[in-house]
Structure 1
């Protein structure tokens, strides 16, 4: 009995629980596509490789398994690079499969040949080439284990087209092998418990590795049990419900100065499931590196991230979810609702409350967030792109225990359109999926509206249109007042554009138009687009 390398590869995908892949088809990996046809794996055809990679990344964020993207040769790989870089910075597991030229003509300037190691080497955990059809199972197994272990991230496999079509003896079936990170010891937990006992103003920073149902429940329980205010990490405000009394604030690009001052009064910081990266720590200033102002307990499964820039006491390279489970079993030692905790909670509640305001040149994004809160109650999947508008959404959008936000640490423009489709495909109609994109970012991958229409994905695309690259324009005005260049945009009629793709197209030019348009889109049994004319003069929420 024999099998093609492509068939074994697809069998490996099935063994690792892959039920959906995202691709732009290419002749270099036609045997893989043919093998996929005989499986239950859902093949999502995308309109651009960059968007396909973003969609696989978003799917991985939702499943907590490596997302899979397939592209072809140098042009497809180059287009997918933005998604690989985003997965690297976001610490999201991703396996990129690249159909490549035949191995006999590599390094001979063959049509669309490229050196994958040079292209992806600095933004991936590994770049490997399939050189022997008999080793395809081993290579797939290694790729998934590496992508999902330690600090998650992308792995790139190049697949020469002649090897994909070659036959080899059938291999034993693959199976997923889980290598769990260690659990904290009793001695380590005693040290943490002692630190809690000594602290007067402890804080818990909840990182991205706590973004799974069990961990979210544990985070709330630990906060209530130990009277710990919680700060969700950047782009993860949903890790604590917005109305929860132990939500102490949110860490993002635009934390108000008054909140930051209260955070700095903490005398103990439990950083759990976070790498303590650039944005979460505000360029390593909170906690202040190397960590002498507050005692820091850092819990992360990748030992290389512990003490990389800080001096934790202690640093625990253990499973963060297991750490929370053990912490939940320890006796409570903190007094409930201290004056400092009350000040944190009151300020967060005040900061996150939208107060009606208007602008002469369009709708304020805060009013859009307020309308979304009113009509969804915080039960939604919010997918945000990059731009000045995100500061408003990160401050004012509300989330329940079910709600969630999808966004990128790298703030790559063009992410949200495809990511919203991937989110809806993963949990169709479980709750509304609403995409927020500026006019600039939306058009970077707006062709994926065709994918939304083809799948009848019930996604609401909100285009916040101020006819500019708004974030860059604001910085330009600060650096070079009165000298704008390259930041004004001439846009299409987004409503008609959406309709041309088969979507319900709506518009809102005034604040009073926002709720009726959103209500109609929420009732629609298919994809919808709302163009909202937003104010170019609206300030970014001040830090």
Structure 2
């Protein structure tokens, strides 16, 4: 068969149902091979949007999302979303077109060395140099992308290779490689360290959610009574309803969670990547004993130098710890911190209070079910969502905090609404929204129905805030925006701009469970 057909057959063998992307001339053969397959190609309005869609698909399902771009600018437009997937540990396979090999040794129209450009931001990538290597290349791309810790891989597909014929078939998939059980000697060292601690605390990271270890983690918390804080990407690993939860590292109006963390003498980090949250903030004096539980050894860093490293399957490690622990471990030392955190998170605004992200969140939480999905863009609103939005189930609050790239919310909403049977809310600021607002057309074309919650302060608000904190003034952050309600309606979706808290509360209760596309603008003080 033709190499482009073989590549698509190989994608089908991997279970791929959707490919997000922007077509190009050099992808012509691949495009028609996709047309004749069981895979749905979804044209997006920008390659970055396609990469973010693949990214969120991978993060929610655990199966690699696939995005597609042509050579040159098509490929470079993918890079931000690909890098975001890499640092957020989301499985993604990117495919890019390329010109014919006979012109790549010289300067040529749109030709760039994309493989070397991608190399620093992916786990693995290669150019498919001949039809014969298609099955192995595709299988390796998916295997490595989905292998813990997951990330991005990339395949470059020159247009002349796409037309070659080769008598082959896809490689069969195999069960994913499982990490081994932990070393029991290290498990017992960890347990002894915990028993000697007066104020132990669990730090739940991205890996606790990503590896589906939440159920086992919740059982450990119930058995030991240890308090838990989460990173932004670990939200939901432990339900914020339980008394042991102190939400995230920065939660509380007076930084109660951070204060509690400062008093912990032993930290059990579970699936924690230091790219999520700098350990210097919670271990500034290098005085905490640390137990590292993850699928890979800890990064070497002065402020994160574990006493014990349990490098194994996370769920298996937690099961082994539970078998060796014979009772509670300091369940009462942290109890006074939870109440003010919860009061702060659930506090409602006064009727004459101006709109704010923080005081919107209780109404949003009330409108959403436990298993509904909130996707946060990056900006000042992300900080409030991370700190004050109670999360009850793993994978239901999607925050990018590795690369932390703006623009993920709207395309992420597209992918989430396709991937899960739940209501989806994409929360964004005006800055991040305008970066990929065009993907509303993609959502409308696909017949999707989710809610865009847009906080508008006509500013790059987080940067402005940081500048003011540092210098008492800001520069280069102010923006002007279109009429967002009218913009939404021009896409053929519902647009709303509430004027009171009561109106906003009623509106969220109405639109979040609806099957329509809705945009709700919350105007913030400027």
TM-score of Structure 1 vs Structure 2, range by shorter chain: over 0.9
In structure 2, the partner of 1:234 is 232
The aligned residue for residue 440 of structure 1 is 431
2:391 is aligned to: 399
Between 448-457 and 240-249, report the one with greater CA deviation: 240-249
Assess, with a 3 A threshold, how the Cα gap between structure 1 residues 480 and 228 changes in structure 2: closer, same or farther: closer
In structure 1, what is the equivalent of residue 78 of structure 2? 80
> 1:288, 1:66 → 2: CA distance?
37
Distance 2:499 2:105 in 1: 56
Please give the alpha-carbon distance, in whole angstroms, between the structure 2 residues aligned to 1:267 and 1:336.
11
Q: How does 1:367-516 map to 2 (within 5 A)?
A: 367-401=359-393, 404-409=396-401, 410-427=403-420, 430-482=421-473, 484-516=474-506
CA contact (8 A) 2:9 2:170 kept: no
What SS does structure 2 have at the residue aligned with 1:264?
A: helix
1:293 maps to 287
Is residue 334 of structure 1 aligned with residue 328 of structure 2?
Answer: yes
**Residues 92-101 or 170-179, more deviating:** 170-179
> What CA distance in whole angstroms lies between the structure 1 residues aligned with 2:491 and 2:34?
28
**Counterpart check, 1:314 vs 2:308:** yes
RMSD: 2.3
Secondary structure of the 1:235 match is: helix
Instruction: State yes or no: 1:525 paired with 2:515.
Output: yes
Q: Is the 2:423–2:513 Cα contact (8 Å) retained in structure 1? A: no
Q: What secondary structure sits across from 2:428 in the alignment?
A: strand
Give the secondary structure class of the aligned counterpart of 1:372.
helix
Within a 5 Å distance, the mapping from 1:53-64 to structure 2 comes to 53-64=51-62
Give the Cα separation in 1 of the matches to 2:212 and 2:296.
Answer: 20
Q: Is the 8 A contact 1:235 1:252 kept in 2?
A: no
Distance 1:204 1:295 in 2: 12
CA contact (8 A) 1:254 1:391 kept: no
Distance 1:26 1:73 in 2: 8
Alpha-carbon separation, structure 2, partners of 1:318 and 1:198: 24
SS at match of 2:203: strand
Relative distance call for 1:485 and 1:154 in structure 2 (3 A) is: same
Alignment check: 8 A CA contact 1:54 1:418 kept = yes
User: In the TM superposition, what whole-angstrom CA distance separates every residue of 1:315-352 from its partner, at most 9, and x where no partner exists?
Assistant: 122111221222233343325632x2212333432342
TM-superposition CA deviations, 1:259-311 (whole Å, max 9, x none): 32221221221111112x144235x342348xx412111122123x3545533
Seen in structure 2, the aligned counterparts of structure 1 residues 401 and 171 have a Cα distance that, compared at 3 Å, is closer
Deviation readout 1:217-254 (Å, 9 max, x if unpaired)? 11111100121211122233222212111213313599
Q: Would the aligned equivalents of 2:375 and 2:425 in 1 still touch at CA under 8 Å?
A: yes
* Bigger mean CA offset, 183-192 vs 496-505: 183-192
SS in 1 for 2:346: coil
Give the C-alpha shift of residue 104 in structure 1: 0.9
Q: Is the 8 A contact 1:386 1:412 kept in 2?
A: yes
Cα shift readout 1:3-38 (whole Å, capped 9, x = no counterpart): 122122122222222222211112212222222223
In the aligned structure 1, how far is the partner of 2:167 from the partner of 2:156?
A: 21
Deviation of the 1:39 alpha carbon:
2.9
Q: Residue by residue, what CA displacement relative to the aligned partner does 1:457-498 show, whole Å, maximum 9, x if unpaired?
A: 11100111111221222233344545x543222211111111
Gaps of 5+ in 2: none
Partner of 1:78: helix, strand, or coil? Answer: helix
1-side partners of 2:264 and 2:184: how far apart?
26
Q: Which SS does the other structure have where 1:168 is aligned?
A: coil
Map of 1:539 onto structure 2: none
Structure 2 length normalisation: TM-score? Answer: 0.93
Structure 1 contact 133–166 (Cα < 8 Å) conserved: yes
In structure 2, relative to structure 1, the CA distance for the partners of 1:457 and 1:95 (3 Å cut) is same
Contact 2:21 2:41 in 1 (8 A): yes
- TM-score w.r.t. structure 1 length? 0.91
Counterpart Cα distance in 2 of 1:162 and 1:84: 25
Aligned equivalent of 1:125: 123
Shift of 1:399: 2.3
Give the corresponding residue for 1:540.
none
Give, in whole Å, the separation in 2 of the partners of 1:425 and 1:515. 26
SS of alignment partner, residue 34 of structure 1: helix
* 8 A Cα contact 1:77 1:98, kept in partner: yes
Q: Deviations over 1:174-210 (max 9, x none)?
A: 3235221221033222222222222221111112122
Mapped to 2, the partners of 1:386 and 1:226 lie a distance apart of 35
Distance apart, 1:120 and its partner CA: 1.8
Aligned equivalent of 1:280, options 277, 280, 296: 277
